């Protein structure tokens, strides 16, 4: 939801930053790779060691660059196919690092909270599937717009609940994980329904070249 409605106000802050980074000779891909490496280091280095507030604040600052690289590409006249692929891949890596580190923290230091560990693992899987459903549908020509829990909501809820838990707010992390788990599973189902209701959802797709060769070989064998 926020990815649809929140970009225009944020651009007022993001664009000057993007222009400054470009003036320093940085490229969008450099910002993408660097911010992802920093996010992974912050998640893996701080969350399992109990520094939840520090991790949330640092990662919150880092993920703000998610719009910077895209703005930099636009200011340069447009992005590239590789840049778009790198950006999407790095988003998945950063998300995986955040929730993987939370799961690791539960596994190492809170063995009595197996339910929360399970919720975190479900979020980890559902967040990847949410993105994959959209990417696969759009590769088939089906436009998927919006969703109940997209990446911005996932990061805001996850980082805020993690940070507040680091400041001693009781039950806030558990509440955040429950919201994200239920919301993420709902979003996967929501996007599948959107795809299923598309006018072209029932159209056939061409088989990959290898599959066509296999089918031809099978027919030859049957004819002997």
Catalytic annotation, residues: 91
Residue 105 marked as a ligand binder:
no
100 appears as a binding residue in the annotation = no
Phi-psi bin for 147: left (phi > 0), alpha (psi -120 to 50), beta?
left
Asked if 47 contacts 105 with a C-beta cutoff of 8 angstroms, the reply is yes
Kindly report the number of other CB atoms within 10 A of residue 29's CB atom: 18
Query: Residue 148, class by beta-carbon neighbours within 10 Å (0-12 exposed, 13-18 middle, 19+ buried)?
Result: middle
66 assigned ligand-binding residue: yes
Residues, the chain, total? 224
Determine whether the annotation assigns residue 91 to a binding site: yes
Residue 120 assigned as binding residue? no
Largest CA distance in the chain: 74
Q: Is 87 annotated as a binding residue?
A: yes
187 marked as part of a ligand binding site: no
Binding-site residues = 29-32, 66, 69-70, 74, 80, 87, 91
Binding-site residues for Mg(2+) = 66, 69, 87, 91
Binding-site residues for a CDP-1,2-diacyl-sn-glycerol = 29-32, 70, 74, 80
């Amino acid at each position: 939801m926020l990815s649809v409605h929140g970009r225009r106000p944020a651009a007022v802050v993001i664009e000057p930053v993007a222009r400054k980074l470009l003036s320093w000779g940085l490229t969008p891909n450099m910002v993408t790779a660097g911010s992802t490496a920093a996010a992974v280091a912050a998640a893996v280095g701080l969350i399992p060691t109990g520094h939840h507030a520090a991790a949330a604040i640092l990662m919150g600052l880092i993920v703000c660059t998610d719009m910077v690289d895209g703005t930099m590409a636009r200011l340069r006249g447009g992005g590239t196919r590789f840049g778009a692929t790198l950006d999407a891949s790095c988003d998945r890596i950063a998300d995986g690092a955040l929730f993987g580190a939370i799961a690791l923290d539960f596994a190492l230091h809170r063995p009595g909270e197996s339910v929360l560990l399970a919720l975190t693992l479900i979020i980890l899987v559902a967040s990847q599937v949410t993105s994959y459903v959209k990417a696969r549908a759009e590769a088939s020509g089906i436009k998927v717009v919006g969703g109940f829990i997209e990446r911005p909501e996932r990061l805001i809820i996850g980082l805020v609940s993690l940070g507040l838990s680091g400041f001693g707010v009781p039950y806030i992390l558990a509440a955040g994980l429950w919201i994200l788990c239920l919301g993420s599973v709902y979003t996967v189902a929501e996007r599948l329904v959107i795809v299923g209701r598309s006018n072209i959802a029932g159209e056939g797709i061409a088989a990959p070249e290898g599959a066509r060769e296999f089918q031809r070989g099978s027919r030859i064998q049957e004819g002997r």
